[in-house]
Chains A and B, each alone.
Chain A
């Protein structure tokens, strides 16, 4: 069921996920036209949708602010623009990790850390700085395509390195969440991004997309105008049921990014090796973390994360096809 609407307020609005946003075009129409923003807000109001507004680093002007404030929403803003948007989710780029002075005074923040492959070795240090200020941190790898064994190993090293810090903070009354380490512990089933199912995106051109990444990849590949009924061709391919690899997987924290799927395997329902391997590094780190939690005497009530012999569920899916009877139960 549709629950959210993402609205990209400008072409150069911050990315919050596995894609690069666009730059500003000289003299071009970079901001979403006001009438389109109004249509998006109305659509949200009529369909009980909570809106996530993606902001650029600059001010938009009073007419925009007024429309934004007319609907339940969350703001996602670049870290540098935080002062104008109290309570917003702050996007931190791994190439610009804020210094201690920038973080002073922040508490209980929601961060998105967009991590570049080249900055992987800095991950633990960056998290160490952000975690004490955070209510939640979502780490997203910005450039997944082309990751190989070296990256998987480094990712694993970094997650293991930050583990003691997360464990230490777990003793706090309000321990911070770190998506790639703590989410899997709390989940009993898939908790994916669900682009196209749980949320849709209004691009800065005012048209609808599965998610912002699809807009930036090809603005022509739109779901159409904002209107009453939204038709998504082959919508079932977004569902877990029709994803032969993911439906047998228990890396529940994985975003199962349908944009990356499409970009790397050409199919919305088929993940790349990179996505699966990275998610399984996280799953394994989460398993390790659960063990430590239990050793430290907490973690009661949390379900086991079984040890598995594969690093990519593709290997399992290719070996054995799900039976028709099991499929029908899904």
Chain B
């Protein structure tokens, strides 16, 4: 559904459920996963890091109790891993505990909550997973990650022995889409899979996944010429989308009306610090990207724990971080800056010193290429429809980086 009424142009993605007004709490239920995706930022997968119910219970108790600090009117409980469905029974207990406590405390979240999953989809048809889904269906979002065509998916999303996982995921897609017809998927693009972008997005749309959130990785993986190859892929995708009128029913986050202009506001891009991740030790993090296993160079960055609560001082940098304080001068003067994303966790990991205030600009050329292709898309589509689409109210923010 487009958020602009009667607009046949669907192409931009809608914002997620109450995104700006919800507290987003991520439980890292396990650091284990059946796959070893090549681009995965969780570089230290292991079987030991499993969340215990007691730790989750304390975290929930703290968050329900800290009404002065945690003021959002609704909550999204995110369960991630590793692979979260490996721990579906634990998750079921956690969800039940939250519901009961929120009810007992007459907490506003009792009426306004969601459980959200990012999964590799391998266990989707497992009876325990299906039981959980049936029990919580009205409060649930599930996002299965399919990376595109078999070739693209199997290039990155592999088992420890190197085998691709496409077929095992694809067989679960129909049931998933039947249960969650509005679902989206998330695609991550690294240098090697640039040539497969167009076919992958079309493939995912063809599978019935109407919304494709797609991003390039923030790491500095780009080779000379990648930006041109990327631009060519996006332009080919633009042509196909327009010629086959796919824009009426499908969306892809690479195309957005709002990107490619100079900055006018000074906001931070990512929600780290406003959201919260909890690990098996009961530590709180600004986002899962700040856990030890997500970081390559830097130590984990905690912002409290479920016993002592949030550390207000450590939250201060995250809550006051803005664009200007972390960006190089060239970004402030950049003519196509909007939509040029960064990830605070990646910034922290790659910065010259231990700080979140140094923006990584590894995606600079890729963003500029995206902007050129995006302009091409909207101009071509506008001419076809006889309207200046970019002057019209926008349909959504365009998906953020995560």
A interface residues, Cβ below 8 angstroms from B: 233-234, 237, 242-245, 264-274, 314, 317-318, 321-324, 327-328
Contact = CB atoms under 8 A, between A and B. Distances in A.
A234 B301 contact: no
Given A266-B317, A270-B320, A274-B313, 16 more contacts: A233-B353, A234-B351, A234-B353, A237-B355, A242-B357, A264-B314, A265-B317, A267-B317, A270-B316, A273-B312, A273-B313, A314-B319, A318-B320, A322-B266, A323-B266, A324-B264
Contacts of A244: 320-322, 325
12 contacts: A233-B352, A234-B355, A234-B357, A267-B357, A268-B355, A271-B316, A274-B313, A321-B267, A322-B266, A323-B265, A324-B324, A327-B266
Interface string B342-374: 000000000111111110000000000000000
Contacts of A269: 317, 325, 357
Contacts of B353: 233-234, 237
A328 B323 CA distance: 12
Contacts of A274: 313
Given A270-B320, A273-B316, A324 B266 contact: yes
A237 B355 CA distance: 9
B332 interface: yes
A265 B357 contact: no
Contacts of B332: 324, 327-328
Contacts of B319: 314, 318
A245 B316 contact: yes
Interface string B255-293: 000000001111100000000000000000000000000
B322 A321 contact: yes
A267, A269, A318: residue with the most chain B Cβ atoms closer than 10 Å: A267
Main secondary structure of the interface of A (DSSP, over half): loop
A266 B301 contact: yes
A242 B332 CA distance: 14
Contacts of A322: 266, 322, 324
B94 to A, nearest CB: 29
Contacts of A266: 301, 314, 317, 354
A286 B358 CA distance: 36
Nearest to A317: B320
A265 B267 contact: no
Given A244-B322, A266-B354, A328-B332, A314 B316 contact: yes
B239 to A, nearest CB: 36
A245 B355 contact: no
Interface string B12-33: 0000000000000000000000
B355 to A, nearest CB: 6
B324 A314 contact: no
Nearest to A312: B316
A234 B352 contact: yes
B264 A272 contact: no
Contacts of B352: 233-234
A324 B323 CA distance: 9
Nearest to A244: B320
Nearest to B354: A266
A314 B318 CA distance: 11
A267 B355 contact: yes
B347 to A, nearest CB: 12
Category for how many chain B residues contact A: 20 to 34
Interface of B: 263-267, 301, 312-314, 316-317, 319-325, 332, 351-358
7 A-B pairs with the lowest CB-CB distances in the bound complex, closest first: A233-B353, A270-B317, A267-B317, A244-B320, A327-B324, A264-B313, A233-B352
A321 B313 contact: no
Nearest to B319: A318
A242 B324 CA distance: 8
A157 B354 CA distance: 39
A152 to B, nearest CB: 15
B352 to A, nearest CB: 4
Contact of A237 (B265, B312, B314, B357): B357
Contacts of A270: 316-317, 320
A271 B320 CA distance: 11
Nearest to B263: A324
Contacts of A265: 313-314, 316-317
A319 to B, nearest CB: 10
A314 B320 CA distance: 8
B356 A267 contact: yes
A99 to B, nearest CB: 38
Nearest to B326: A242
A318 B317 CA distance: 10
A234 B325 CA distance: 11
A234 B358 contact: yes
Nearest to A268: B355
Most chain B CB inside 10 Å of its own CB: which residue of A242, A272, A321, A322: A321
B189 to A, nearest CB: 29
Contacts of B358: 234
B298 to A, nearest CB: 11
A321 B356 contact: no
A314 B321 CA distance: 11
A185 to B, nearest CB: 28
A232 to B, nearest CB: 9
Contacts of A321: 265-267, 322
A124 to B, nearest CB: 29
A243 B357 CA distance: 10
B320 A242 contact: no
A209 to B, nearest CB: 14
A327 B352 CA distance: 23
Contact of A242 (B267, B301, B325): B325
Nearest to A267: B317
Contacts of B314: 264-266
A328 B319 CA distance: 21
A120 to B, nearest CB: 20
Contacts of B321: 244
A245 B356 CA distance: 15
Contacts of B301: 266
Contacts of B322: 244, 321-322
A242 B266 CA distance: 13
A272 B311 CA distance: 11
A318 B322 CA distance: 10
A214 B316 CA distance: 21
A265 B355 CA distance: 11
B291 to A, nearest CB: 16
A322 B313 CA distance: 21
A94 to B, nearest CB: 24
Contacts of A233: 352-353
